[in-house]
Amino acid sequence: MLSEILLGITLIIFVVYLWVKKRFRYWSDLGFLQGDPSFPMGTLSGVGTKMTNAEKLNVYYREFKGKASFVGLYNFLSPIILAIDPEFVKNILVRDFQSFHDRGMYYNKEDDPLGVSTLTLNGQEWKERRVKLTPIFTSGKIKMMFDIVDIISNKLARILEDEMAKSNDLEMRSWLQKFTIDNIGNVAFGIEPNCLEDETTEFTFYCRKMINGSFLEAIKFLFSVEWPDLARKLHLTFINKEVGDFFLKTFIQTLDDREASQIDRNDFVKLLLGLKNTYTKDQLAAEAFLVFAGGFETSSTLMTFALYELALHPDIQDRLREEILSGFEDNDGKLTYEMLVGFKYLDMVVNEALRKYPPIPIPMRKCRTTYQIPGSELVIPEGTIVQVNLLSLHYDPEYFPEPENFDPERFNEENVKNIKPYTHLPFGEGPRNCLGMRFGLMQSKIGIVKIIKSFKVSPCEKTSIPVKLKPASPFLAPNDGMWLNLTKIE
Ligand code: HEM
């Protein structure tokens, strides 16, 4: 009996072994070049513990650049494609968008209403939401929110100064997160989170919980992208359940309060309420949550890394400060939207920071129909995820010589014309690119302006140089926070 059981187990292991072996030949059997997978992580081994997903994809990008325009990889046992050539990137994101309009992100309508939004939805449902939301993000509407962000940025500068009474070495990432939470809480939720003043609030607690990804969360994320049907059966949620419940309750309360009070405020709540005849409350809450989740971490990441580079490059910092101070001088000491948009050097600094540190490093699309790759015999099967790794394109010395150098001049009026199309894509590209780019840029630029105007920023003993990325975070994040020294400019 025992020998029969052992024989059975051996047979099962052998069959599984043969199946996995065959699975890991999926791309080569289809004629693609492929990375070398291993069980059980496929080509993801080391991701979440030793390195970020983007850093791992970069290993394959470098291995296959010059050999192919794309390469087959494996997220666990699931075959995916990594784009290498910018022309191929263009085909996926723009030219052949009709085959690639889904992002292939996981959502679970039943257990996680907040996770069902423009970011995650597919097909016609995505299209309808995107069309309705687009007018909310025009520059005219974003401009209306300028005053709210401007007021909060003054509070940030004041509070940083108070903090400096205790120490001039500050962990800037958390201060910048508090700034963007206060901004987004205000404009998306119509509430005043007051994180800058009191970080023990419930709101801050749930914001932090949302982004402090663990290894387990990273694996859950990858698992649900690869096996969405199974993940739904297991009731896995895209958003942590506790976090989701809190924000759903908060936003529905905000909508009810706003309707009852008839208060008129220039914020996303007002703009979203304009859609209330075509959306359910859950759907409106999901979009507000998306604005919130997409809006606070990305912008604080951008500011964090921009300040880090400015601290390491005092000459660049001085030149930026000169531009800012002369703008204020010409405008009676007041920041305006037009002035912010007119800061050319600031724009170059921000673009260079986004090159070196794209906050969302891996835009992806799911192939809706079998796709014949132009100029090739090869066919991408329906349902395949295609990933574009921004870290690879942005650090490719062919497109950005000496890529480790922080050099805003790459983006001056003359040089910017020579950047190869589809090699600098911090906001993605095509009909499914970032919807909140203008707001993200506005709040990040205001934050940088207010800090550089008032403080000299330098590295301190606790600054990690070079910066190490947090392996388990799907966003780009510094592993050890961002410690910088601030001194007040009198
Ligand atoms: C520096 C700030 C930001 C960066 C770098 C950034 C980057 C990105 C990237 C790379 C994507 C994927 C694009 C693609 O797949 O082609 C994206 C999507 C998106 N972002 Fe942003 N983002 C930022 C700020 C914001 C803000 C402030 C909001 C909201 C107010 C926002 C809302 C969205 C939405 C709704 C999508 C999904 C669009 C769709 O699927 O139709 N983002 N973002």
For residue 429, which atom of ligand 1 is closest to its CA?
16
Domain that holds residue 204: 31-488
332 in any annotated domain: yes
434 is in an annotated binding site: yes
Residue 345 or residue 206, greater confidence: 345
Residue 215 or residue 248, greater confidence: 248
Checking if the pLDDT of 482 tops 70, the result is yes
For residue 365, which atom of ligand 1 is closest to its CA?
15
Tell me which residue has tokens 């919807």: 435
Checking if the pLDDT of 40 tops 90, the result is no
**What digits encode the pLDDT tens for the residues 138-180?**
888 888 889 999 999 999 999 999 999 999 999 999 999 999 9
Ligand 1 mutation pick, 434, 437, 442, max ligand atoms within 8 A of CB: 434
Contact status, residue 160 vs residue 170, Cβ threshold 8 Å: yes
For residue 346 the two structure tokens come to: 């600031």
Centre of ligand 1 to C-alpha 263, Å, is 29
Q: What is the pLDDT of residue 445?
A: 98
Contact status, residue 194 vs residue 354, Cβ threshold 8 Å: no
466 preceded by a cis bond (ω within 30 of 0): yes
Minimum CA distance residue for ligand 1 atom 16: 428
Ligand 1 mutation pick, 137, 144, 146, 427, max ligand atoms within 8 A of CB: 427
Q: In angstroms, how far is CA 85 from the centroid of its own chain?
A: 22
Phi/psi at 380 (nearest 5 deg)?
-90, 125
Contact status, residue 314 vs residue 487, Cβ threshold 8 Å: no
26 in any annotated domain: no
Please, what is the angle between helix 281-312 and helix 241-261, to 10°? 110
Ligand 1 surroundings by CB, under 6 angstroms: 93, 103, 118-119, 130, 290-291, 294-295, 298-299, 302, 359-360, 363, 426-429, 432-436, 439-440, 444
Centre of ligand 1 to C-alpha 224, Å, is 21
Minimum CA distance residue for ligand 1 atom 6: 427
Among 65-74, 111-120, 125-134, the range of highest mean pLDDT? 65-74
Average pLDDT over residues 73-95: 96
Helical (H) or strand (E) element with 444: helix 437-454
Q: How far apart are CA 327 and CA 63, in angstroms?
A: 47
Checking if the pLDDT of 235 tops 80, the result is yes
10 in any annotated domain: no
Q: How far apart are CA 389 and CA 71, in angstroms?
A: 12
For residue 363, which atom of ligand 1 is closest to its CA?
15
Minimum CA distance residue for ligand 1 atom 37: 119
Q: How confident is the model at residue 214 (pLDDT cuts 50, 70, 90)?
A: low
Q: How far apart are CA 362 and CA 42, in angstroms?
A: 18
Checking if the pLDDT of 223 tops 80, the result is no
Q: What is the pLDDT of residue 16?
A: 81
- b vs e for 86-102, b when ≥16 Cβ sit within 10 Å of the residue's Cβ? bebbbbbbbebeebbbb
**Pairs from 418-422 (Cβ < 8 Å, separation ≥ 24):** 420/86, 421/86, 421/90, 422/86, 422/87, 422/89, 422/90, 422/93, 422/393
Centre of ligand 1 to C-alpha 480, Å, is 25
User: What is the C-alpha R_g of the chain?
Assistant: 24
458 in any annotated domain: yes
Checking if the pLDDT of 218 tops 80, the result is no
6 in any annotated domain: no
CA distances from 485 to 158, 208, 461, 468 (A): 16, 24, 9, 19
Q: How far apart are CA 168 and CA 83, in angstroms?
A: 44
261 in any annotated domain: yes
Checking if the pLDDT of 421 tops 70, the result is yes
**What digits encode the pLDDT tens for the residues 345-393?**
999 999 999 999 999 999 999 999 999 999 999 999 999 999 999 999 9
For residue 428, which atom of ligand 1 is closest to its CA?
16
Centre of ligand 1 to C-alpha 463, Å, is 29
Q: What is the 3-state secondary structure (H, E, C) of 329-378?
A: HHCCCCCCHHHHHHCHHHHHHHHHHHHHCCCCCCCEEECCCCEECCCCCC
Q: What is the pLDDT of residue 269?
A: 83
CATH number of the domain encompassing residue 185: 1.10.630.10
Provide the domain count of the chain: 1
For residue 93, which atom of ligand 1 is closest to its CA?
16
Q: What is the pLDDT of residue 212?
A: 66
For residue 329 the two structure tokens come to: 């001088």
Q: How many residues does the chain have?
A: 490
Q: How far apart are CA 160 and CA 324, in angstroms?
A: 19
Q: How far apart are CA 77 and CA 80, in angstroms?
A: 9
Checking if the pLDDT of 322 tops 70, the result is yes
Q: How far apart are CA 387 and CA 89, in angstroms?
A: 9
Centre of ligand 1 to C-alpha 260, Å, is 32
239 in any annotated domain: yes
Q: How far apart are CA 181 and CA 192, in angstroms?
A: 9
Contact status, residue 265 vs residue 202, Cβ threshold 8 Å: no
Q: What is the pLDDT of residue 213?
A: 59
Amino acid letter, residue 92: I
Residue 466 or residue 23, greater confidence: 466
Q: What is the pLDDT of residue 112?
A: 83
Centre of ligand 1 to C-alpha 363, Å, is 10
CA distances from 21 to 30, 79, 322 (A): 15, 13, 61
381 preceded by a cis bond (ω within 30 of 0): no
51 in any annotated domain: yes
